[in-house]
C-alpha cells in the first residue's frame, strides 16, 4: 500500500527537520484537528525549520503497533489512549476507573499539573517521551440493539473495546456484555456487518467516525474520561537542542488544547446533527451505572497498583468540588 501523508509539500521542502506522526483516525477527526494545530505551532515557533508530516487512518499500523514503532525509532510521534500504554506502566489504568472525574475540567487540572508530568515521565524507561496529554473525552455507548437505560441493558451486548487493555475487557464482562478488543479502524466495518452490536467512544469520534451510519442508538452513559498520551521517541527527543525540545513541548500542548476545544465546543452540535440523521439519543441516569461499574475497576486496580495515584487524583477532585 502506498502511504499518503497529509501536509503541504512546500512546508516539508523548506524544513530542516521533518517528524512523522501516526494517527489511528482520519485527519478530519479531533486528533487530526489537534495534529494540524501542533504542526502549525511547530512551524511558526521554529520559523519553518520543523515540519510534522501526518499518516492518518492507521496507515502505519494499529495503535499498539505504532507505539512499538515509536519505541524503536521507526516513527517519531503517536498519540493513543492512556490504556494502550498500561503494559508499560500499569498505574495508567487509573484513568479506566469509571466515573472518576465529574467533568473534563477536573481532568485537565490533573493532567496539566506537575503530577501529570510525573505520570508522563513513567514512560521513559520504554524509550518514550511523554509530550502531553491529549483529549479523548467522556465515553458513551452506541448500539444497534436497543437504547441503554440501565446497566442490565448491557447484558449480552457484543461491544467493541480498546485493544491491549485487559481492564476494559474485564469491565464489560463484569456488567454482562461480550467485549471484543478491536483496533479503531475496524470498528465501522464490524458494526455495519452486524458482527458487533455496540461500541463506546466520546461524542466527537462517534460523529467524525460516522458511527451514526451503522448504529441506531446513542445512550449518554458518560461512563469514563480517557485521556490520550502523545509520545515521541525518547532518544531522538533527548538528542535535540533544548530550544527544539521546548518548541515541540509547546506545540504538542497547543495541539492538545485545540483538540479539547474542538471536542467540547462541538459536542452538542454533533449530537443534534446525529439526531437529524436519524440516530436516537437518550439521556441516562448515571447513578446505577456508577454503582455497578466503578467497583469492577477500582478495587482490582488498587489491589494491583496501590492507591498513590488515585489518592492524588481524588485530592485534586475534592479541592475542585470545594471551590
pLDDT digits (tens, 9 = 90+) for 38-92: 999 999 999 999 999 999 999 999 999 999 999 999 999 999 999 999 999 999 9
* pLDDT value, residue 10: 52
* pLDDT value, residue 1: 44
pLDDT level of residue 323 (50, 70, 90 thresholds): confident
Question: Has residue 239 got a pLDDT over 50?
Answer: yes
Left, alpha or beta for 176 (phi > 0: left; psi -120 to 50: alpha)?
left
Q: How far is the C-alpha of 135 from the C-alpha of 225, rounded, in Å?
A: 9
Q: How far is the C-alpha of 21 from the C-alpha of 6, rounded, in Å?
A: 10
Q: Which three cell numbers stand for residue 309?
A: 495515584
Question: Has residue 232 got a pLDDT over 80?
Answer: yes
Give Cβ neighbours of residue 70 (< 8 Å, ≥ 6 apart).
76, 77, 78, 128, 231, 232, 233
Beta bridge partners of 213: none
What mean pLDDT do residues 96-106 have?
96
For the chain, the straight-line distance linking the first and the last C-alpha, in angstroms and rounded, comes to 54
* pLDDT value, residue 23: 96
138-225+277-321 folds as D-Maltodextrin-Binding Protein; domain 2 (3.40.190)
* pLDDT value, residue 164: 85
Burial level of 98, CB count in 10 A (0-12/13-18/19+)? buried
What mean pLDDT do residues 211-228 have?
98
Q: How far is CA 36 from the centre of its chain?
A: 17
Which is the CATH superfamily of the domain at 9-137+226-266?
Bacterial extracellular solute-binding protein, family 7 (3.40.190.170)
Domain limits, the chain: 9-137+226-266, 138-225+277-321
Q: How far is the C-alpha of 318 from the C-alpha of 299, rounded, in Å?
A: 20
Is 0.85 topped by the overall pTM? yes
pLDDT level of residue 13 (50, 70, 90 thresholds): low
- Please check whether residue 132 is in contact with residue 179, taking contact to mean a CB–CB distance below 8 angstroms: no
Check if 9-137+226-266 and 138-225+277-321 are the same fold.
yes
pLDDT level of residue 241 (50, 70, 90 thresholds): very high
- DSSP label at 129? E
- Please check whether residue 48 is in contact with residue 15, taking contact to mean a CB–CB distance below 8 angstroms: yes
Amino acid at each position: 500500500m502506498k502511504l499518503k501523508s497529509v501536509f503541504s509539500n512546500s512546508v516539508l521542502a523548506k524544513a530542516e527537520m521533518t517528524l512523522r506522526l501516526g494517527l489511528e483516525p482520519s485527519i478530519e477527526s479531533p486528533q487530526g484537528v489537534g495534529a494540524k494545530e501542533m504542526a502549525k505551532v511547530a512551524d511558526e515557533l521554529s520559523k519553518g525549520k520543523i515540519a510534522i508530516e501526518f499518516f492518518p487512518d492507521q496507515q502505519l499500523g494499529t495503535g499498539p503497533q505504532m507505539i512499538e514503532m515509536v519505541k524503536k525509532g521507526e516513527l517519531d510521534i503517536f498519540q493513543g489512549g492512556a490504556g494502550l500504554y498500561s503494559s508499560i506502566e500499569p498505574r495508567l489504568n487509573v484513568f479506566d476507573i469509571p466515573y472518576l472525574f465529574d467533568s473534563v475540567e477536573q481532568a485537565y487540572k490533573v493532567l496539566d499539573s506537575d503530577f501529570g508530568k510525573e505520570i508522563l515521565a513513567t514512560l521513559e524507561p520504554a524509550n518514550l517521551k511523554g509530550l502531553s496529554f491529549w483529549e479523548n473525552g467522556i465515553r458513551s455507548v452506541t448500539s444497534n440493539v436497543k437504547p441503554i437505560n440501565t446497566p442490565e441493558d448491557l447484558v449480552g451486548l457484543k461491544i467493541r473495546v480498546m485493544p491491549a487493555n485487559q481492564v476494559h475487557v474485564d469491565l464489560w464482562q463484569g456488567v454482562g456484555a461480550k467485549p471484543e478488543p478491536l483496533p479503531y479502524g475496524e470498528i465501522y466495518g464490524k458494526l455495519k456487518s452486524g458482527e458487533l452490536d455496540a461500541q463506546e467512544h466520546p461524542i466527537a469520534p462517534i460523529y467524525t467516525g460516522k458511527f451514526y451510519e451503522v448504529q441506531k442508538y446513542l445512550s449518554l452513559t458518560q461512563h469514563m474520561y480517557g485521556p490520550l498520551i502523545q509520545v515521541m521517541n525518547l532518544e531522538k527527543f533527548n538528542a535535540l537542542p533544548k530550544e527544539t525540545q521546548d518548541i515541540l513541548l509547546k506545540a504538542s500542548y497547543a495541539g492538545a488544547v485545540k483538540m479539547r476545544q474542538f471536542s467540547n465546543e462541538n459536542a452538542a452540535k454533533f449530537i443534534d446533527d446525529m439526531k437529524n440523521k436519524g440516530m436516537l439519543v437518550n439521556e441516562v441516569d448515571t447513578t446505577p451505572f456508577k454503582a455497578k461499574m466503578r467497583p469492577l475497576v477500582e478495587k482490582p486496580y488498587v489491589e494491583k497498583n496501590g492507591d498513590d495515584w488515585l489518592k492524588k487524583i481524588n485530592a485534586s477532585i475534592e479541592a475542585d468540588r470545594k471551590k
